[in-house]
Amino acid sequence: MNPLKQVGALVTKPVDAISKALATPTGYTTPSGFARLVRPGPKLAEVVRGKILLITGGSSGIGRAAAIEAAAAGATVLLVARGEEKLQEVANEVRVAGGTAHVYPCDLSNLEAIDELVAQILEKHGRVDILVNNAGRSIRRSLALSYDRFHDFERTMQLNYFAPLRLMLGLLPGMRERKFGHVINISTVGVQTRVPRFAAYIASKAALDTASDAFQAETRDENVHFTTIHMSLVRTPMIAPTTLYDNFPTLTPEEAGHVVCEAIIERPRRVSPAFGRVASFADSLTPEIMDVVRNRGFKMFGDSASAKGEDTEISGAKKAFVDATSGNYW
């Protein structure tokens, strides 16, 4: 068997096993690879009615979709992003859907601006019940092209880690005092699969994941919950510069937004696609084997057009590799 087929078998067999295990009367696997439990429980309206929900990156993509769905179910949504005009457009969509939305333009790369945002929101609304840290920056660039780009790592840490951390530190005291709160962090399946070319992005998301794990240990008995969603590839403006992804299977923003709303209902610790869970487990057992898989993907797909310039078509072996690692990105 050639090396590619060996890698394909290594990846697909455990994924198929988990998918079959999930496809039971109590659960099913969505086309995106996310598994949902189908069990009696509160509907979204029962959970969010009367609650104040803050969503960063609320002007487009996942944030927009989640805001519209949650607000239509009865949440008061606070939309945060840099551009006020786009935020107002989403707020109008929310109102058309019968929901309530407030717009808070904020540059989340500015820590002082975040402090002002928290103070303004608490003064006007008194609290935030559910915080969705959705805003983020992704950079796809290989090590060879990163030697003189330390600022890539600084920028991703600022928006993906320090900004949500600053928000949490401002809002968690009130949640703990009231004995109720939910923080949802939109992470990436890349934290589980540790794909090449995304060192800056994955490291920043992993930092947020780890900090939230530590916070959860301190607040679990206070009815304050943390959920990490290891999101697979979503068709948003963030991935637009990498035209290679035009050929990859992706979630729509509406599908991803629904994943967020499901997390609001269930309050799970983690939500991950099947392949991400398999890769994480395999990596904990034998990282050397996963290094082979990752190296194979690295060699098959070049740096993005925005980083270097490349052929954006995928076919044959590349297509098989993408299908075998469904939900992941290379």
Q: Which of 64, 96, 86 is nearest to 77 (CA)?
A: 64
Q: Report the pLDDT value the prediction gives residue 287, as an integer from 0 to 100.
A: 84
Q: Are 196 and 142 in contact (CB under 8 A)?
A: yes
Q: Tell how far CA 122 is from the center of its chain.
A: 26
User: Dihedrals φ, ψ of 110, to 5°?
Assistant: -110, 110
Q: Is 147 a catalytic residue?
A: no
Instruction: Report pLDDT for 329.
Output: 62
Domains of the chain, CATH where assigned: 3-324 (3.40.50.720)
Token output for 317: 């072996």
Predicted local distance difference test score (pLDDT) of residue 117: 98
CB-CB contact of 182 with 130 (8 Å) = yes
Q: Which listed residue (104, 161, 201, 245) is catalytic?
A: 201
136, 238 contact by CB (below 8 A): yes
**What pLDDT is attached to residue 273?**
86
Of all helices (H) and strands (E), which one includes residue 190? helix 190-193
Sign of CA dihedral 67, 69, 72, 74: negative
Return averaged pLDDT per consecutive 10 residues of the chain, 330 residues in all.
47 43 35 50 89 97 96 97 96 95 97 98 98 93 92 96 98 98 96 91 97 97 97 68 53 92 96 86 83 78 61 57 56
Interacting residues of 183 by C-beta distance below 8 A, sequence separation 6+: 130, 131, 133, 168, 172, 212, 215, 224, 225, 226, 227
| DSSP structure string for 280-313 | HHHHHH-HHHHHHHHHHHHHHS---TTTT-----
